[in-house]
Amino acid sequence: MARTAKKNSPVWYGYLQAGDRSSPVIRDDRLDTGNHKTLYLFNLSRNMILEYSRDVVEPKLRELKPDEAANIQELDEAYKKARRGFRDRGAGIRSILNRSSKTPASNEDAFNDIPAEDDSDADWVEDDDDD
């Protein structure tokens, strides 16, 4: 799938050919479904970011034709508006991974900062009685 936007841009502008449901679309590789079998596309006709099965949708995607590319600004503005309120599932996974990468490298390191207990001042006494 070639890109219509700037080279190396994570955003691709295209067209979903799906009969009555055909629409200009945007694919933003920064949005992650958390499932390698699906992808998110902004669908201008529905004015929403939707999750699609890769196997089903990828064969139906094509580059925008020159007359369709004239509407990229409208497509881009609608996408930005939909994107403001959208949170992809992959963002939650990335957030968890980022937090876990900030934890100590090993459990031993995690306990190095905990002061050892001093048994000399314990207010409990072991019962040596073998009743």
**pTM of this structure:** 0.65
Overall average pLDDT of the 68-84 stretch = 92
| Per-residue pLDDT tens digits for 25-55 | 999 999 999 999 999 999 999 999 999 999 9
pLDDT band at residue 6 under the 50/70/90 scheme: low
pLDDT band for position 104 (cuts 50, 70, 90): low
pLDDT of residue 42: 97
d(CA 24, CA 124): 74
**Alpha carbons 26 and 93: distance in angstroms, whole number:** 23
Cβ neighbours around 16 below 10 Å, total: 20
pLDDT above 70: percentage of residues in the chain: 63
What percent of the chain is helix, strand and coil (3-state, nearest 5)? 35, 20, 45
Q: Which pLDDT value is given to residue 85?
A: 86
Domain boundaries, the chain: 11-85
Mean pLDDT of the chain: 78
Q: Which has the closest alpha carbon to 13: 44, 37, 39, 36?
A: 44
* pLDDT given for residue 70 in this prediction: 81
- pLDDT single digits (tens) 78-99: 999 999 989 887 655 545 555 5
